[in-house]
Structure 1
Amino acid sequence: MNSATLATTSADAAEAGASQAVKAQLRLREMVLAGELPGGSRIAEVAISEQLGVSRTPVRSALMRLEQEGLLESLPNGGYAVRTFSERDVSDAIELRGTLEGLSARLAAERGAPPVVLREARACLHRIDELLREPALDDTAFSRYVKFNAQFHALLSELSGSTVISQQLERISNLPFASPSGFVVVQANSPAARDMLLIAQDQHWQVLDAIEAREGSRAEALMREHSRIAQRNLREALHGTQSHPLPGVQLIRRRS
């Protein structure tokens, strides 16, 4: 076997291993959020490997990635356990995201946002407008809303031109339940779902207009206020009467 063939074989093996690790990561995340692996439970690496039908190497890689995401915690004697979160932890994470997004919006207004990113943000909001013209959103439309909502918030982070802020926003948004769409699914089963989405969309447009008008303080205040919707959704998920519980909500310890 020549060196070129060896290199190709090695690359194929590495790609296959990476693919197995990603599949293991996705399945493990589903198991945690669905409650198949309860909060506080220790992860049995061998049992998970057998259950998923993959070797321990991709499972070990998946466990490390889920720890980085914040869904798992490493144990002092080795191994991992499913994390639980206090209601205050989640609320603080949402508050921190709102603060960072407010700062990003203010800097974008004060420094002047890149026109190409502004155009992309406006195009994204127009797509959301099209979805919200319907009197009600079915599951497909709601999934598209979540996608466009996440895209707009990512573009908003890019508007500031600050790599530092963008990195910190990405980090906080990767925390469980802290992303811009982390609790928006709660609204899907609410009688006032479309009304709440319309309010959020109006805030999207207002903050973009404030950035273009170079109104930094107003842009910042709008994004801070925008995060209050997520706080409201958190309370509804934990203390409301949802017939379809939010995935992973069982990991949050409610305030007494």
Structure 2
Amino acid sequence: MYTAPPIETTDPTSSQAVKAQLRLREMILAGELPAGARIAELAIVEKLGVSRTPIRAALMRLEQEGLLEGLPSGGYGVRTFSERDVSDAIEMRGTVEGLAARLAAERGVEAPVLQEARACLEQIDIVLSQPALDDDAFLRYVTLNQKFHNLFCEMAGSPVITRELERVVRLPFASPSGFVVMQANSPQARDMLIVAQDQHRQVLDAIERREGARAEAIMREHSRLAQRNLREAVRSPDSGRMPGVRLIRG
């Protein structure tokens, strides 16, 4: 599953563009706009029932998000990604998060932030305590997992690191939960999330103990789970039915 970055909605006049962006993203990930296809602007205008101005704004945002690319002849096309592209993006996230973990451990973290992170992990424990996870449980995990990674980023106390992590997770499929929901189709789904949760606790423990090298190593290893999920998603017989995976070239 591709987890999109947050959409800015501070400008009330952009509401139509935001709605168009959400719908276009949905169409891309569902395959209604196939990988490599040129976007027919007029057809999108007719389909969504909005004017060309918000459609153009939505297309520009999706290009910034990485799902579309500008074409030499003008307009936009749906991007495709090699498996190596996605793997490199995940590796980059692991590297930056590893640095964030080391800095958090070396600089120290305020008690309220640590307490909030622990509370988040306790909520994840509750989700994973179920013997089998349904779709709602997986989506709950995704929400809490993202919250923990956001808090984790805050622990570094570095606007530079925060900015770079935000940039990295804008790369398609590189977010911490980029492939989590796909695990619902795997018999080992819950086991893999339990491993990830143990790594969450281990890195938080390393940060509290001010063990920078250990914290960094754990987060680098944490990204390896996403690499494994990528390989399994691409090679799964059901990959064609998984949102967004059809954009990845093997």
TM-score (norm 2): 0.93
In 1: Cα distance, 2:163 partner to 2:11 partner: 27
Aligned residues: 241
Identity of aligned residues (%): 72
Equivalent residue, structure 2, for 1:107: 103
Aligned pair partner of 1:126 in 115, 122, 130: 122
Pairing of 1:200-215 with structure 2 (within 5 A): 200-215=196-211
Pairing of 1:52-91 with structure 2 (within 5 A): 52-91=48-87
Question: Does the 8 Å CA contact 2:233/2:239 hold for their aligned counterparts?
Answer: no
RMSD: 1.4
Question: Does the 8 Å CA contact 2:203/2:219 hold for their aligned counterparts?
Answer: yes
Aligned-partner residue type, residue 71 of structure 1? L
Aligned pair partner of 2:161 in 155, 160, 165: 165
Deviation at 1:243, TM superposition (A): 6.9
TM-score (norm 1): 0.91
Equivalent residue, structure 2, for 1:34: 30
In 2: Cα distance, 1:123 partner to 1:68 partner: 34
Pairing of 1:198-237 with structure 2 (within 5 A): 198-237=194-233
Question: Does the 8 Å CA contact 1:17/1:58 hold for their aligned counterparts?
Answer: no
SS at match of 2:33: coil
Deviation at 1:16, TM superposition (A): 5.9
SS at match of 1:153: helix
Equivalent residue, structure 2, for 1:21: 17
In 2: Cα distance, 1:17 partner to 1:57 partner: 11
1:178 paired with 2:174, answer yes
Aligned pair partner of 2:90 in 90, 94, 104: 94
Deviation at 1:230, TM superposition (A): 0.3
Question: Does the 8 Å CA contact 2:239/2:246 hold for their aligned counterparts?
Answer: no
Question: Does the 8 Å CA contact 2:203/2:218 hold for their aligned counterparts?
Answer: yes
For residues 96-136 of structure 1, the C-alpha deviation after alignment (integer angstroms, 9 at most, x for no partner) is: 00000000000000000122211111111010001111101
In 2: Cα distance, 1:206 partner to 1:90 partner: 26
Aligned-partner residue type, residue 120 of structure 1? E
Higher RCO structure (Cα 8 Å, ≥6 apart)? 2
Aligned pair partner of 1:239 in 229, 235, 238: 235
SS at match of 1:73: strand
